[in-house]
Chains A and B, each alone.
Chain A
Amino acid sequence: MTMRQGLAGGLVLVLALMAPLAIQSDFWLGFLITILLFAAMGMAWNILGGYAGQFSFGHAAFFGTGAYATSVLHIALGLNPWLGLLVAAAAGGTMGLLIGYLSFRYGLRGSYFALITLAFAEVLRILANTAGFTGGGVGLYLPLNIGVANMQFAGKAGYYYVALGLALASILIAWRLERSRLGAWLAAIRENEDAARALGVDTFACKLAAIGISGAMTGVGGWFYAHYYLYIDPEIAYGPGVSVEILLVAIVGGLGTVLGPLLGSVALHAAGELAQRLMGDTPGLNLIFYGVLLVVMVRLMPDGLAGLVRRWMRPAGGTQRA
């Protein structure tokens, strides 16, 4: 990390910490919360898709599992929401290992892997619709009980700080991963799996680790969502909408970069908000918007926004990642 990057990072962090003091509007704080939540989950996707090169279309499987695990246990057994974080991470991670085991064991790659993840999320959506303990299609309402111990805040600022914590933690995890053996091995798998195997990399175990970490982090995203909105249903939890949004954040931001998902989340949600203001709240509009955006990004900016920033910070054209 250079001086300049360190200073810029520190400045952004101070601004982020002070944001709730300056921004009194619930709407804009809510907007920032969404950005931070999806930055964290985009980073989770990035670990599997960007670093390890395994594209998932079904991260809702992890998001929903985390959300339902904490909600069901909170409602049924009074599980404390803060402990629910660990439960959601464990549930999302376990779902990751399960899906990973079943797909990587049989050597599924590329679009086959993407489709199988999508299928898993869809199966879970249908199960959540029919099962009793999930509240079926009606969904689950979490009881209102304001108090920090119960992770319910009177205003949005409290949620903002939790979401900021998640985003920072996810950046830290990716930063650590980039400088670790697992990170080096995942990059090798992404670039050339046979060559990785020849050099002693247990590709199956590494991919499992990646999807386990990714699933756990995304499960935590579901945990936050459930306790923030105090409501989930099968469509929100396991629907393709959340899967697409998560992967778009990562792709728009820049695959395999530490800051990409945060940039991607800012850009995606700012553009989404703008589009909605300009064109009104037509149903399905956001999906069309996402589709167009994805095509444009992949065609014109395959490095994502992080690639742009990198070129701008380092005009000499170094190869280090942002």
Chain B
Amino acid sequence: MLEVNAVTKSFGGLAAVAAASLRVAEGGIVALIGPNGAGKTTLFAAISGFVAPDNGQILFNGAAITGLAPHLICRRGIVRTFQIVQPFGGLTVRENIVVGAHLRHAGRRKALMRAEEVARRVGLGELLDRPASALTVAGRKRLELARALATAPRLLLLDEVMAGLNPAEIDEIVRIIRDIRASGVTVFLIEHVMQAVVSLADYVYVLNQGEIIAQGSVSEIAAMPNVIEAYLGHGAAARMTTGAAGAVQ
């Protein structure tokens, strides 16, 4: 469904993403992990049209979308959330979600119905008339998710929607993401919360200093020495024994 071919993006001299290639198959949940500053968000920004890659190609359902404007990419069915949440602070939860719903529904009534339906799905049904600025961190993350879902995407890019949440809230989001996948939406997520990656992802890519250094299933990744090194520094893998999976994060 999504194909990223040797995409490079530099800021000044620094290559935030360096010839990264990956694939996301339809219907799955794929995770992108890697240490801070690895270039994960930049890669999402390239896929969603917020930054134009210096090099490389991005295909969605076989068609090139490299360098298209964000709103056109969204119309084709890829929507992103922001790591640093970007609510429409002066609007209510309902009005926030309606903005997304209007992408597929020109009429007000249909869009409002759609927004309410999405809000219930992510557990915001009771907070529809709250100002978005009054939400807790967990509420804002859900709102970010709800607005994106309201655009009726084929592929959902989630950038650390669990950061800053407590374990109960994480369990709830994990359940919601499963439910989203079950409804036929493909999910590609960046996550530092390994417990969530382990329970959700069918396939994992590891990005380090802009490069994809490993890929595979969760259990395959957990056993790779270069992944552990990327997270814990040079030589760490050698010092570690078999229980590596638990040590990540």
Contacts and interface: CB of A to CB of B under 8 A. Distances in A.
Nearest to A206: B71
Interface in B9-59: 48, 50
B131 A197 contact: no
Contact of B99 (A179, A180, A199, A318): A199
Contacts of A179: 108
A195 B81 CA distance: 8
Contacts of B108: 179-181
Interface in A89-115: none
A180 B90 CA distance: 18
A178 to B, nearest CB: 10
B100 interface: yes
B199 interface: no
A181 B102 contact: yes
B88 A187 contact: yes
B88 A200 contact: no
A195 B131 contact: no
B147 interface: yes
A200 B80 CA distance: 10
A202 B74 CA distance: 10
Contacts of A318: 129
A14 B92 CA distance: 34
Given A191-B88, A194-B86, A199 B95 contact: no
B97 to A, nearest CB: 10
A200 B86 contact: no
A198 to B, nearest CB: 6
A187 B108 CA distance: 14
A41 to B, nearest CB: 24
A200 B108 CA distance: 17
A195 B82 contact: yes
Given A179-B108, A191-B91, A199-B148, A184 B74 contact: no
Nearest to A318: B129
B63 interface: no
B210 interface: no
A223 interface: no
A256 to B, nearest CB: 9
A192 interface: yes
A319 interface: yes
A312 to B, nearest CB: 20
Nearest to A194: B86
A185, A190, A196, A319: which has the most chain B beta carbons within 10 Å? A319
A239 B82 CA distance: 44
Dominant secondary structure at the A interface: helix
B186 to A, nearest CB: 17
Contacts of B100: 199-200
A197 B88 contact: no
Contact of A319 (B82, B88, B102, B129): B129
Contacts of A162: none
A190, A195, A196: which has the most chain B beta carbons within 10 Å? A195
B71 A201 contact: yes
B99 A201 contact: yes
A31 to B, nearest CB: 35
Contacts, number: 84
A197 B70 contact: yes
B207 interface: no
B99 A198 contact: no
Given A195-B86, A199-B103, A187 B91 contact: yes
Contact of B75 (A180, A187, A200, A203): A200
Contact of A202 (B71, B130, B131): B71
Interface string A165-196: 00000000000000111001101101110111
B95 A198 contact: no
Contact of B131 (A181, A194, A319): A319
A179, A194, A200: which has the most chain B beta carbons within 10 Å? A200
Given A199-B100, A199-B147, A200-B100, A181 B106 contact: yes
B131 A198 contact: no
A73 to B, nearest CB: 36
A179 B102 CA distance: 12
B87 interface: yes
B79 interface: yes
B79 A191 contact: no
Contact of A199 (B79, B90, B92, B131): B79
B216 interface: no
B162 interface: no
A180 B98 CA distance: 11
B71, B80, B98, B103: which has the most chain A beta carbons within 10 Å? B71
A2 to B, nearest CB: 15
B71 A203 contact: yes
Given A179-B108, A198-B86, 18 more contacts: A181-B106, A181-B107, A184-B95, A187-B99, A188-B88, A191-B89, A191-B91, A194-B82, A195-B82, A195-B86, A195-B87, A195-B147, A197-B50, A197-B71, A197-B74, A198-B148, A318-B129, A319-B131
10 contacts: A185-B99, A188-B88, A188-B91, A195-B86, A196-B99, A197-B70, A198-B79, A199-B79, A202-B69, A203-B71
